[in-house]
Structure 1
Amino acid sequence: MTVQLSNAMNQRTSSENQTPHQWLNTLLLQVAAERDKAAFQQIFHHVAGKIMSFGQQRLGSQGLAKDLLQETMTLVWTKAHLFDAEKGNAITWIFTVMRNQCFDMLRKVQHNREDCLGDNIWPLVDVAPAEADHAVTREQQSLLLSHLEKLPPKQRQVVQGIYLRELTHQQLAEELKVPVGTVKSRLRLGLEKLRSCMEQYDD
């Protein structure tokens, strides 16, 4: 890092001769070594538009894109010391941080979506028929279980494992000897089909 900082200092004195990559490298090294807020601000303005564009394309929401920008730049500030100019340039390093953060956000969005689907459906199963306040609740419960039996076997197995047996994704994956991602995929498809069936009933 000392050698990199020395190089950055030399580059700073002749910034007019720097390429854009060298200029950004210098700024990031200043952030790493000196916690230079002015340098960080320049980096932020340079990459913000690109990160927002990437976020809106991948996450489909301006709000989530702003979250991606904030989270990415927070990580750039806190992890700048991990940047090694001898192994790559700053823009590539920053965009790697951005992509990793985007993947994390997509996983959370998918997880929340599955939770929402489940929350919309499974309270019907949690109510015992004798405790239901109205006949329609018992009817919906019976209908839901009927549609559950009609799911493709692998999807039904996962939905039952998660919601009726209350296993975790990991536990069910180990039991079925499949990757956790496969469990989540089957669960999502099964819940979507159940929700579609219940929406048709409500109509």
Structure 2
Amino acid sequence: MAAAASNEHQQLAGWLIEVAETRSKQAFTELFRYFAPKIQRIASSKYGNETLASEVVQETMTNVWRKAHLFNSDKGSPTTWVYTVMRNVSFDLLRKIKTKKEDNLSDDFWPLVEGQLETEEPFSDHLADKEMLECIEKLPENQKLVIKGFYFMEMSQEQLAIHLDIPLGTVKSRLRLALAKLKQYIGEAHD
């Protein structure tokens, strides 16, 4: 049993080395056949979403192709190395999903405002509405700065981080908190 596992690891290591040294498509195909179903199964159980799982497989195997030269059989097994690549891809994917959710928070907020506007007389810029400005003025100063920069000055979150000299994560947190408070204020004003 241990001999079979050792032979399997040697074969996988050999394929990784072939990919690294000669860009062997045949060796990569063998690696893909071996790892893709395993990665798909792990990612499916972790995310519960076949599309995300497939994305993890594709990104992991693309990175295996590009970074095969970094594999060192003296430092660890090929399976450990590939699963480490998969773990890093998973973290990157989760960060991307989280960032996308934070960037879309405003979509939760503005429809509430726009729904209220349909019943009132129209005006050219809903941000200029006195009631909205009063709600913004209720915010703590640091959140007010982020909201005004993002929506009035149309700065990106990255630009705001530089402009305010704070980390990007702080900008995102303040924006999220401010939008939640504004949503609460608008809900109270229109209940």
The letter of the residue matching 1:100 is N
Q: Structure 1, unaligned stretches of length 5 or more?
A: 1-14, 126-131
CA distance 1:147–1:19, shift in 2 (3 Å): farther
Aligned with residue 161 of structure 2, among 173, 177, 186: 173
Q: Are the equivalent residues in 2 in contact too, given 1:122–1:163 (CA < 8 A)?
A: no
Of the structure 1 ranges 31-40 and 76-85, higher mean CA displacement relative to structure 2 is found in 31-40
Q: Percent identity?
A: 43
User: Partner residue of 1:157?
Assistant: 145
Distance, in Å, in 1 between the alignment partners of 2:20 and 2:190 is 58
Q: Within 5 A, what are the aligned runs for 1:31-46?
A: 31-46=19-34
Of the structure 1 ranges 143-152 and 94-103, higher mean CA displacement relative to structure 2 is found in 143-152
Distance, in Å, in 1 between the alignment partners of 2:53 and 2:44 is 5
Task: Give the match's secondary structure for 1:18.
Answer: helix
- Per-residue CA deviations over 1:37-81 (Å, capped at 9, x if unaligned) read 343233223333442344346555321121111111122123323
Q: Does 1:91 align with 2:79?
A: yes
CA distance 1:183–1:104, shift in 2 (3 Å): same
Distance, in Å, in 1 between the alignment partners of 2:140 and 2:44 is 35
Distance, in Å, in 2 between the alignment partners of 1:28 and 1:38 is 11
CA distance 1:53–1:137, shift in 2 (3 Å): farther
User: Partner residue of 1:128?
Assistant: none
User: Partner residue of 1:187?
Assistant: 175
CA distance 1:105–1:193, shift in 2 (3 Å): farther
| 1:171 to partner: Cα distance | 3.3
Q: Within 5 A, what are the aligned runs for 1:1-203?
A: 18-56=6-44, 59=47, 61-119=49-107, 121=109, 135=120, 142=129, 144-195=132-183
The letter of the residue matching 2:136 is L
Distance, in Å, in 1 between the alignment partners of 2:5 and 2:45 is 35
Number of residue pairs the alignment of both structures matches? 183
Q: Are the equivalent residues in 2 in contact too, given 1:117–1:195 (CA < 8 A)?
A: no
Distance, in Å, in 2 between the alignment partners of 1:192 and 1:58 is 29
Distance, in Å, in 1 between the alignment partners of 2:6 and 2:58 is 28
Distance, in Å, in 1 between the alignment partners of 2:156 and 2:43 is 30
| 1:98 to partner: Cα distance | 2.0
| 1:162 to partner: Cα distance | 1.7
Task: Give the match's secondary structure for 2:104.
Answer: helix
Distance, in Å, in 1 between the alignment partners of 2:35 and 2:14 is 15
Q: Structure 2, unaligned stretches of length 5 or more?
A: none
Q: Are the equivalent residues in 2 in contact too, given 1:124–1:137 (CA < 8 A)?
A: no
